[in-house]
Amino acid sequence: MAAPINLCLVWAIFFFCNCNSLPSFPAILIFGDSLVDTGNNNYIKTILKAKYLPYGQDYPGNLPTGRFSNGKLIPDILASALGIKDSVPPFLDPTLSEHDLITGVNFASAGAGFDDLTTTLSNAIQVSKQIELFKVYVEKLKGIVGEGKAKEIINGALVILNAGTNDWLLNYYDIPTRKLQFNATGYRDFLLNDKLQIFITTVKLENPLAGESCLEDQNRDSGVYNEELVKLLTRLQATLPGTKLVYNDLYEPVMDMITQPDKYGKFKADDYQ
């Protein structure tokens, strides 16, 4: 029987163009948590780091980079597949080149969430602070290419947002801090209407992907959360002309990996001893 898994994810890919065919993006920008953090936590004081093996064992050079993965993350793979760059560097990396900034960077932080309270213990960079980093990035970009070109790059960028899991796990289920304040419906509305909507309208982006869990109550709450998320995004898209919203489900492929691991290669504990 598969181990319980909670996947209350918000996967957002924002297209700032008319996408009747596979678009061409000048840059890629990433926001969110550990599923998309390419190393920002290496540069902050947090217990959540991936600077040691087996992380990175399949990454070029076979070294841990701060990615919570054995190799590249989805943002890296997307950037490469779309011909933007081979991988997406973390914005906090002090060695970033001008080319890195022009073609896009990553603001995500492992342990982050929409709710600022989520990062109290981990000291990760909450999504609201990632927006502040984005604003710093925009100023740096203007200094390199000028205001007009910077606006063109931002407006044409592929933007990915992945968050939500940590809010529910850390603040509602594992450490029920928010449970004392909200029922599941109230917390869902708080995250969607007070947090996610602000993010989207602030950065002027749009579009997610979501999932559920295996525990009965968490499945129910996550499912309703995701249904409301889709409704919210539909409403937001209507107010943001010139964008294309793409919704996809991450839950099924992840559950397939859990229930049928032989299809993807078995984990061998001896490999890490």
pLDDT per residue as tens digits for the range 2-49: 333 333 344 444 444 444 455 689 999 999 999 999 999 999 999 999
Sign of the torsion angle spanned by Cα atoms 206, 132, 30, 163: negative
The answer to whether residue 158 is domain-embedded is yes
Give the 3-state DSSP-derived string for 238-250, with helices as H, strands as E and coil as C.
HHCCCCEECCEEC
Statement: residue 67 has pLDDT above 50: yes
Among residues 180, 204, 222, which one ends one of the domains?
180
Among residues 129, 152, 180, which one ends one of the domains?
180
Sequence-separated (6 or more) residues with CB below 8 Å from residue 40: 66, 90, 91, 92, 106, 107, 108, 109, 125
The answer to whether residue 38 is domain-embedded is yes
pLDDT digits (tens, 9 = 90+) for 243-269: 666 555 565 665 566 566 667 664 443
Same domain? 123 vs 150: yes
The answer to whether residue 9 is domain-embedded is no
Mean per-residue pLDDT over the chain, rounded: 79
The answer to whether residue 98 is domain-embedded is yes
Q: Which of 221, 210, 196 is nearest to 250 (CA)?
A: 210
CB 49 within 8 A of CB 111: no
| Domain assignment of residue 238, given as a range | 182-260
The pLDDT, as a whole number, for residue 21 is 53
Count up the domains in the chain and report the number: 2
Same domain? 66 vs 80: yes
The answer to whether residue 135 is domain-embedded is yes
Same domain? 187 vs 155: no
Same domain? 164 vs 188: no
Same domain? 123 vs 249: no
- Determine if the pTM surpasses 0.85: no
The answer to whether residue 209 is domain-embedded is yes
Among residues 180, 197, 213, which one ends one of the domains?
180
Statement: residue 220 has pLDDT above 70: no
> HSE-up of 163 (CA within 13 Å, CB side)?
33
